[in-house]
């Protein structure tokens, strides 16, 4: 269903051990989770979160029966503290977040994530959310669309694409992934620009998905809570798939690995910031050649790991 990326690297760096408490904040179809469950054994506990009901239902039917010590909850990881608290877990030896969409989500046309399939412009990982890609395209102002395509997609034709969307949406609504992908392709053709290695609609689809799921906002809320939840020496590993997320993780880890964060011109510390973690991966870990051959999706995966120091 889904090939877990950087599986051996995650195990080596989070080093789950017999009897420990772990949290998989994006359990998906349970690939990493099952490897962690084997390592922590029946005396350990694994709390698994996912915001996608389909993943949760699948896990309850397929993984939970084998592991009574697996607790599964449909939730956004931005609520990790509240959920852990409700489940009576207040300190974890390890936390993993493997963020982004699963290949299962990507391959289901009706979820609307892929420009290669024709489906509704949905893109919600959590179907209980109201905002869909279709709503964004029909309701957001032109400037807001430009901002999203620029910020979250680094799309070079952001302005022209937003203008084309606004021009056609009065007469014909944008309802399918195919219509949107074609609109992007036509915009490039009109400018005489050719297709490179990646599909022309890649960045627009990525940008919409990030906005629909508030992906960066959730990540920013998750990181401080995850560090709070770690026991001394506990480890947090985050796998990201695009540069914006990786930047957020890298900068947050750097900040938490420092003591005072006052600007250099302030002679005496006023922030009171304390070093809370040690960075275990100076550079992000990426997929090996073997993994890249087996699973092209691992191409953009980056794993960063920290270890909690002190309380």
Owner of token pair 């239902």:
57
Q: Which of 194, 115, 206, 121 is nearest to 158 (CA)?
A: 206
Q: Which is nearer to ligand SAM, 8 or 189 (CB)?
A: 8
Q: Smallest distance, Å, CB 201 to ligand SAM?
A: 21
Pairing relation of β-strands 230-240 and 302-308? antiparallel
Inter-residue contact 182 to 205 (CB < 8 Å): no
What residues contact residue 98 under an 8 Å CB cut-off, 6+ apart?
Answer: 4, 5, 10, 24, 26, 28, 32, 239
**Residue 256 in the binding site for ligand SAM (CB under 6 A):** no
Binding mask 99-138 for ligand SAM (x = CB under 6 A): xx-x----------------------x-------------
**Residue 146 in the binding site for ligand SAM (CB under 6 A):** no
For residues 7 and 301, give the distance between their C-alpha atoms in angstroms, rounded to a whole number: 11
What's CA 81's distance to the chain center, in Å?
Answer: 18
Stretch that binds ligand SAM, among 39-47, 51-59, 255-263, 266-274 (CB under 6 A): 51-59
Please work out the total of residues on this chain that contact ligand SAM, with binding judged by CB under 6 A: 21
**Residue 177 in the binding site for ligand SAM (CB under 6 A):** no
Cα torsion 77, 83, 88, 94 to 10°: value is 0
Q: Smallest distance, Å, CB 26 to ligand SAM?
A: 3
Q: Which is nearer to ligand SAM, 2 or 250 (CB)?
A: 2
For residues 184 and 4, give the distance between their C-alpha atoms in angstroms, rounded to a whole number: 31
**Residue 298 in the binding site for ligand SAM (CB under 6 A):** no
Q: Which is nearer to ligand SAM, 101 or 162 (CB)?
A: 101
Q: Which is nearer to ligand SAM, 32 or 308 (CB)?
A: 32
**Residue 291 in the binding site for ligand SAM (CB under 6 A):** no
**Residue 226 in the binding site for ligand SAM (CB under 6 A):** no
For residues 117 and 65, give the distance between their C-alpha atoms in angstroms, rounded to a whole number: 33
**Residue 67 in the binding site for ligand SAM (CB under 6 A):** no
For residues 15 and 111, give the distance between their C-alpha atoms in angstroms, rounded to a whole number: 35
Indicate the SS3 state at residue 262. Answer: coil
**Residue 39 in the binding site for ligand SAM (CB under 6 A):** no
For residues 58 and 64, give the distance between their C-alpha atoms in angstroms, rounded to a whole number: 9
**Residue 218 in the binding site for ligand SAM (CB under 6 A):** yes
Q: Which is nearer to ligand SAM, 94 or 161 (CB)?
A: 94
**Residue 30 in the binding site for ligand SAM (CB under 6 A):** yes
Residues found near ligand SAM in the complex (CB under 6 A): 2, 4, 26, 28-32, 49-52, 55, 76-77, 98-100, 102, 125, 218
């Amino acid at each position: 269903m889904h090939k877990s990326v950087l599986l051996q690297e995650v195990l080596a760096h989070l080093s789950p051990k017999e009897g420990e408490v772990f949290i998989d904040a994006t359990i998906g179809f349970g690939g990493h989770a099952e490897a962690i469950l084997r390592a922590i054994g029946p005396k350990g506990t694994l709390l698994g979160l996912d915001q996608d009901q389909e993943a949760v239902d699948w896990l309850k039917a397929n993984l939970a029966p084998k592991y009574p010590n697996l607790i599964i909850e449909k939730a956004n990881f931005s609520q990790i503290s509240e959920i852990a608290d409700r489940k009576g877990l207040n300190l974890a030896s390890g936390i993993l977040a493997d963020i982004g969409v699963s290949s299962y989500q990507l391959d289901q046309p009706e979820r609307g994530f892929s420009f290669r399939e024709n489906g509704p412009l949905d893109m919600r990982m959590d179907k209980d959310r109201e905002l869909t890609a279709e709503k964004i395209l029909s309701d957001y102002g032109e400037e807001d669309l430009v901002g999203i395509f620029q910020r979250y997609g680094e799309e070079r034709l952001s302005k022209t694409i937003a203008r084309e969307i606004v021009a056609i949406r009065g007469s014909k609504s944008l309802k399918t992934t195919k219509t949107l992908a074609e609109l992007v392709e036509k915009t490039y053709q009109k400018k005489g620009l050719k297709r490179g290695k990646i599909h022309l609609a890649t960045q627009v689809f990525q940008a919409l998905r990030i906005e629909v799921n508030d992906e960066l906002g959730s990540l920013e809320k998750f990181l401080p809570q995850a560090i709070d939840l770690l026991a001394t020496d506990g480890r947090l590993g985050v796998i990201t798939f695009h540069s914006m997320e990786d930047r957020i993780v890298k900068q947050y880890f750097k900040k938490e690995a420092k003591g005072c964060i006052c600007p250099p011109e302030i002679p005496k510390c006023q922030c009171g910031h304390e070093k809370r973690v040690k960075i275990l991966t100076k550079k992000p870990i990426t997929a090996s050649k073997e993994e890249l051959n087996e699973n092209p999706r691992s191409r953009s995966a980056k794993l960063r790991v920290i270890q909690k120091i002190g309380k």
